[in-house]
Amino acid sequence: MGFLSHVPNGDIRQVIRHFTPNWFTANMGTGILALMLALFPYGHWGQAEIAKALWCINSFFFALFSILFLSRAIFYFRDFQKLFDHPVQSLFIGAIPMGFATIVNGFFIIWPLSPESLAVATAFWWMDVILAFTSVLLVPYFMFTSQGHSMERMTAAWLLPIVPPEVTAASGGLVAPHLASAAAENVIYMSYVLWAISVLLAMGILAILLLRLTLHKLPHQDMAVSSWLTLGPLGTGAMAMITLGNADFASFHGVLAEMAHFAQMAGLMIALLLWGFGLWWMCMAIFFTLRYLREGLPFNMGWWGFTFPLGVFNAATYLLADKTGFWVFQPLGAVFTILLAFFWVIVTRKSFLGMWTGRLFRAPCLSEETGLPMACEGPQKASQKASTLVS
């Protein structure tokens, strides 16, 4: 198939008009793979170089996607507004701050840190704070006021706009130890606020999701990969507790030093609890995926859900290995990294094919489709083609 063969007249303007935020999930997946390769405990030749290359590629595509997304907002504002009324596509706004956070983390995990790069990373982190607050406040507001939702249609994708604050909080734990005391304390305080907002809301959603799965069984195949998203808030929540505990110990002095010691120990215990809960959801996600594979699993951009949630759970596993010394965590983390790389290769190949042909540049919010599984739509909608469902 030719370049943009599925785009009317191969018009780049249609690519901009139909550009949706779910493309930023590719940044999430690519960025977390770069970070996990850098942390891979069984070093091999070229490991650092591959991680750096992926970070650079991810940064380039994040900039490109940001330009396309902003261009749509500027030049197709009326169409852009429809995004916020769409019950599925609007959720992916949360992918923007989460994808950006992987770039911020790379400054501390992948590259040697310099005063200049620290200044850039700190500025980027505060930008990510703004994006995270935008996601966790704006998207739920539209969910509550203008979008159509029901228990039967609910999936783990509801977590997407909720998780960004805790992802940013985990990044804050990497930023703070390198800052002066006053600046570090500001980052740490903000990070704990972000963590509390995100994790508590996510726990409520997970409880509702458990009820929904019990009453209405598995979602349609188009939303199959969403089951992996449950790892996101649990993995990043555990990460944040450990990185912030370390940051407290490195940054707090005087009277606050006593609180830092408590925060570090309490953070480790909370991280273990979240990791254990996440392990159960991971087993469920594997079981669900095996069942879906027997029924057929059509590709869409939601497949990137195989990557980032697993990656952050992987990161939490490495951190627990470092903090506890328990022998199970390190080899298990290595297995997760290999599985993550396997998923990334498959999804990247399919995404580039869809990008080349233009098949994936089709915004459901600009069509008559709801973007929801056909089984959850009304009779008239369910009879329409499935090609414009969530992509």
Contact between residue 152 and residue 376 where contact means Cβ atoms under 8 Å apart: yes
- 3-class secondary-structure state, position 56: helix
Q: How far apart are alpha carbons 63 and 100 in whole angstroms?
A: 10
- Show the domains of the chain with their CATH numbers: 16-388 (1.50.10.150)
pLDDT, tens digit (0-9, with 9 covering 90-100), for 107-139 = 999 999 999 999 999 999 999 999 999 999 999
DSSP type of residue 372: S
8: confidence class by pLDDT, cuts 50, 70, 90: low
**How confident is the model over 343-349, as a mean pLDDT?**
96
What percent of the chain shows pLDDT beyond 90? Answer: 76
The pLDDT score that the predictor gives to residue 383 is 38
Distances (CA, A) of 65 to 61, 195, 360: 6, 27, 14
